[in-house]
């Protein structure tokens, strides 16, 4: 696989870790990001690396690359509720126009294409755990619909390019991921809780905290994505995440304990359409990618806590 890899959204949380991983594997990486939610601080250590190139660009505009490219990995998109509620139109545009442009580039370069989709395509699921053949329970006109439907459209156009133009495509349905380089103001549970507990501020839980999530540490996620890139003849979506499920209230208590914080838990109204459960069925990833997560929640949280304390 040692070829040029283009990553859209490469200065973001998962994208920047992929840049590191692929360069370590000996690849040349071209990172495209408009830095709306990504940050140069995530890739500053790579800027002088001869195998790395950064291009500041909005992928909803035409992408012009005058180099051979073997792989296009499309990770550009706001990914947290705070971000996609702040940028609803841009979220829809990067999921539609951005995906179209990234696929067009892959077609022109005869490159393999991977779409970073999301477990949000399942919405507030009625099936638990979620398998790839579940169509989801999504409110298209709710506040979260801008992200959910952007990714659902992105999956649809990716499959259309595969069927119509024979592009070699992959779709990764990414479940909740955490680790170093998450922003303090990301808005998701783990960075929120860490930002609050490290400062001994009240820890905010929405609803009664009984809603569940499954958290995958970043190194496991990157390995899963890499295995999917290398896989053969898997064009339909593949869940990548950690199936160990925990309630948000339990997560809050774990983080308070691990940070030795004096924070107290306070409760706020649950946002509209917030999923009550979220847990991946990863049987397909296990069998086809020979992948499963290795880092348990406590180990991953301790690494993430150290990072947040150093910020």
Alpha-carbon distance values, 61 to 99, 105, 151, 190 (Å): 11, 12, 18, 33
Catalytic residue among 71, 84, 87, 147: 147
Torsion sign over Cα 167, 170, 173, 179: negative
Q: Give the burial class of 81: count Cβ atoms within 10 A of its Cβ; 0-12 exposed, 13-18 middle, 19 or more buried.
A: middle
Contact between 299 and 217 (Cβ < 8 Å): yes
* Angle ∠(239,161,103) on CA atoms, nearest 5: 85
Give me 73's structure tokens: 């990995």
d(CA 174, CA 61): 25
Element (H or E) spanning 2, and its range?
A: none
d(CA 221, CA 87): 25
Conformational region of residue 30, where left means phi above 0, alpha means psi within -120 to 50, and beta covers everything else: beta
Q: Which residues contact 7 (CB under 8 A, 6 or more apart)?
A: 15, 18, 19, 22, 29, 30, 31, 32, 73, 75
Length of the chain: 311
d(CA 139, CA 230): 34
Asked if 161 is an active-site residue, the reply is: no
Cis peptide before 129 (omega within 30 of 0): yes
Give me 295's structure tokens: 């880092």
**Farthest-apart Cα atoms in the chain, separation:** 58
Residues taking part in catalysis = 147
């Amino acid at each position: 696989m040692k070829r040029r890899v283009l990553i859209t959204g490469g200065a973001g949380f998962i994208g920047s870790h992929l840049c590191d991983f692929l360069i370590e594997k000996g690849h040349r990486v071209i990172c495209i990001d408009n830095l709306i939610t990504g940050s140069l601080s995530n890739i500053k250590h790579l800027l002088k690396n001869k195998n790395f190139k950064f291009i500041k660009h909005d992928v909803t505009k035409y992408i012009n690359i005058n180099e051979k490219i073997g792989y296009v990995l499309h990770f550009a998109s706001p990914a947290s509720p705070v971000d996609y509620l702040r940028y609803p139109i841009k979220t829809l545009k990067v999921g539609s126009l951005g995906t179209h442009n990234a696929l067009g580039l892959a077609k022109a370069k005869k490159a393999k294409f991977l779409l970073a989709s999301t477990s949000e395509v399942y919405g507030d699921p009625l099936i638990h755990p979620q398998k790839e053949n579940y169509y989801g329970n999504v409110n298209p006109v709710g506040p979260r619909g801008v992200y959910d439907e952007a990714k659902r459209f992105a999956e649809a156009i990716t499959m259309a390019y595969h069927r119509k133009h024979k592009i070699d495509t992959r779709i990764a349905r990414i479940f909740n991921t955490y680790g170093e380089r998450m922003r303090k103001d990301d808005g998701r549970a783990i960075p929120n809780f860490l930002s609050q507990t490290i400062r001994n501020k009240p820890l905010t839980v929405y609803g009664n905290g009984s809603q569940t999530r499954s958290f995958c540490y970043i190194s496991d996620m990157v390995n899963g994505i890499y295995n999917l890139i290398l896989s053969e003849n898997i064009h339909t979506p593949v869940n990548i995440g950690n199936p160990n499920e925990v309630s948000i209230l339990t997560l809050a208590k774990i983080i308070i304990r691990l940070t030795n914080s004096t924070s107290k838990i306070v409760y706020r109204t649950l946002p509209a359409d917030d999923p009550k459960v979220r847990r991946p069925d990863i049987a397909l990833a296990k069998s086809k990618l020979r992948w499963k997560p290795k880092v348990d929640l406590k180990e991953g949280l301790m690494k993430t806590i150290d990072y947040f304390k150093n910020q």
